[in-house]
Amino acid sequence: MSGPTSLVPVLYSPQRVMKYDQASPVPASAMEGRLSFSILAFAPGALGAATCTVDKVAGLSMYHKEKSIQIKSSASALHNNLSVLRIVPGSLTYFTVVHANVVNMVSASWDGLNFSHRQLQSKEGNIAASSSLIMQASWCVLPSRELLVLTSQKGIQMYESDGSIMVYWHALDIPEIPTAQAVFARGIAAVRENYICVGVSSGSVLVFDVPSKGSNIMLSEVLEEHREAITDMASECSGSQEGIADLVTADDSGILCVWKSGEDFQLLNKIPGFDVCCSSVKLWKGTVVAGYGTGQIRLYEAVTGILHAEVNAHARWIYSLDIAPISGLLLSGAEDSLVRVWHLTLIPETNSVEIEHLYSECVTDTQICGAKFCDGDGYAFAVTGYDLSEIIRYTQA
């Protein structure tokens, strides 16, 4: 074999977790003990193997639980059902959680003493309210402005970041005669200087050109590579302008499409999905991090599609992934009541990425549906769970 060193799939298998019946709750005690995984790497003319071991010492925690934030209505069982926006000038953090046709929005001071609440309802154009279910709410941070984007069964709403003013409405094409296929928008990402991308149930990705101010938002392009409903999408979160890829989109069949943005978006790569839903996806320093219904996390090189690592991270469906871009910490939350923290490391010599397990937290009797870091370093994170009327917060000890 010639050429640069490359990694074959890494299989990380926390055996003590996977022993449990997936229909039964995973006890917190199962999280204590030793987790190990093996990494195999092919180098020119040699095969190397290394075994990495992570100990979780009983009573020693990387994070500790803070006081929860109450919300006015409980979280729906939706993938990625939590969005966080850190407002540095005002020392505030905004949170959004979707419940049916309502978005719960909370503004929290950094000292945890002051909170303010707002609820946004699903709308259809200028109609005051709609019964249309909201599928996702997420902040889009562009260099010149920040917008809160809501997707529903009827269309796409864009608000100023504090939710005070709706600046744009885009109606979905709904057939006059109802069909077996549901119509909705889902998957939101801000890309480069002026684009917001939103996925729809047909598999299309809508690209909106957003001005630095005002409401003159235009649908500039429709990307039609997917054949199944879009589940999630993500832009390059490291802030690097050097990478070729700056958007990854995922669908119900698990297919990942990697794009380069511009006046005309260019498809760089299409990664097979093997008919397993990819529920959450991130893009960090040219690496696609994808979470699946199998409970696995996979790391791909975005442009080539090379699989760097495959991790049996959870016993049930993964609902949310997030990355702290400065530290390279990865957060995963799933139906198995577990939220895990991992560390991603780029290895320039081998042009590969390694993943290391750091921390697990069992949120008892909770089907986790949202998990997000509250800052770029991963110092704190927040969690939502189905039918919970609170946002659970953790900070580093």
Cβ neighbors of 33 (< 8 A, separation 6 or more) are 16, 56
Q: Which pLDDT does position 206 carry in this prediction?
A: 99
Question: Which residues of the chain are under the pLDDT cut of 50?
Answer: 1-60
Q: For residue 88, what are its two tokens?
A: 């540095």
DSSP characters over 101-158: TEEEEEEEETTS--EEEEEEE---TT-S---PPEEEEEEEE-SS-EEEEEEESSEEEE
pTM of the model: 0.85
Residue 21's pLDDT is: 31
> What is the rounded radius of gyration, in angstroms, for the C-alpha atoms of the chain?
20
What pLDDT score was predicted for residue 10?
Answer: 38
Q: What is the pLDDT of residue 5?
A: 29
Residue 52: the pLDDT is: 32
Domains and CATH numbers, the chain: 59-396 (2.130.10.10)
The pLDDT, as a whole number, for residue 242 is: 64
